[in-house]
Structure 1
Amino acid sequence: MLHVKDSLFQNFKFGAFTFLVFYSVIHSCRGESQVIGSSNPIVAQVGEGIILPCHLDPALNALDMTLEWVRPDLDPRFVFVWRDGVELKSKKHPSYQGRTSMFPDELEKGNISLKLSKVKISDEGKYRCFIPGLKKESYVQLVVGK
């Protein structure tokens, strides 16, 4: 038997296997999720609403995380910022005002996809889905047709 000397587990004895499994579970919950976008371009027509896919794998509750969708070629670059459970509209590029949203009910399941409505030709480009707290990112390419 392995005796754990940590104050949280004082006076508890774990078998070596149990302790290793517990240790692995703790370490897998420390931000080991990857941010997954789409390897294929997302194609939209002008005026359509589309979803730029992005999720955490394995899924983590992202509701209280800071989430950023940016277009690196814009200034300001922010398309959508989610912090402390709300959207920060003051950071958003003016051309995206009133056209972007997320799915708050899905954030708990690790879905951090961005909904973009009334697509414009100028929306075409490379979008970065980023979680600063995890230092993880993914890119999604949007192609817009007329």
Structure 2
Amino acid sequence: MKLKPVVPVLSCVCLLTGIILGHENGVVEVVAAEGSDAILPCSLSTKERITSKLFDWKKDGQKEVFMYDAGIHYNNGRSGQDEQFKGRVLHFPEELKSGNASIIIRNTRMEDSGVYTCFFPRLQPSQLFHIKLVVERTFKDRSGEITGE
């Protein structure tokens, strides 16, 4: 699946699937409705090319969400991704040229809520970003499904 560049997508998709609420103590908060897609932002301010770099996304400091190492990642053969995220996490390959390591979590679930880190361990100095994802429960209107006698 080929994704379009993040800049145009981010301005449209975030409005539809998640809202970036801002920074609180260095943590970016993203809110998404359950079942929607959420973009978790992570970009180097230097806009340095990261196609040959390593970056690692984790949830709550433990669960492996997405790891990219010079082109090898969970969607093309790397093992170790937590079952919760298999087949649901994508990145923006074209955006790596401008330092963008953002990811999309497809079909968000309540259990996806938590604090995510985007870590560049080999950069000098290393870089660490914190993103809090809040997945809000969606309630379906089933009033039309009720039938009376």
- Given the two structures, how large is their TM-score scaled by the length of structure 2? 0.68
User: Unmatched 5+ residue regions in structure 1?
Assistant: 1-37
- Residue 112 of structure 1: aligned partner: 101
Q: Aligned equivalents of 2:115 and 2:37: distance in 1?
A: 17
Residue number in structure 2 paired with 1:93: 82
Could you tell me which residue of structure 2 aligns to residue 43 of structure 1? 31
CA contact 2:61–2:116 (8 Å) conserved in 1: no
Taking structure 1 as reference, are residues 73 and 136 closer, same or farther at Cα in structure 2, changes over 3 Å only? closer
Instruction: Give, as a single letter, the amino acid of the residue that structure 1 aligns with 2:96.
Output: L
- Identical residues among aligned pairs (%): 30
1:73 shift after superposition: 5.0
1:51-87: CA deviation from partner (whole Å, max 9, x where unpaired): 001100111001110110001354xx21000012121
CA distance in 2, matches of 1:73, 1:123: 13
Give the drift of 1:103. Answer: 0.3
The count of residues paired between Structure 1 and Structure 2 equals: 107
Q: 1:1-146, aligned counterparts within 5 Å?
A: 39=23, 40-74=28-62, 77-88=63-74, 89-134=78-123, 135-146=126-137
Following superposition, the deviation at residue 118 of structure 1 comes to 0.4
Instruction: For residue 112 of structure 1, give the secondary structure of its aligned residue in structure 2.
Output: coil
What letter matches 1:84 in structure 2? A
Any gaps of 5 or more consecutive residues in structure 2? 1-21, 138-149
The answer to whether the 8 Å contact 2:61/2:117 transfers is no
Aligned residue in 1 for 2:17: none
TM-score (norm 1): 0.69
Query: Over aligned residue pairs, what C-alpha RMSD do you find?
Result: 1.3
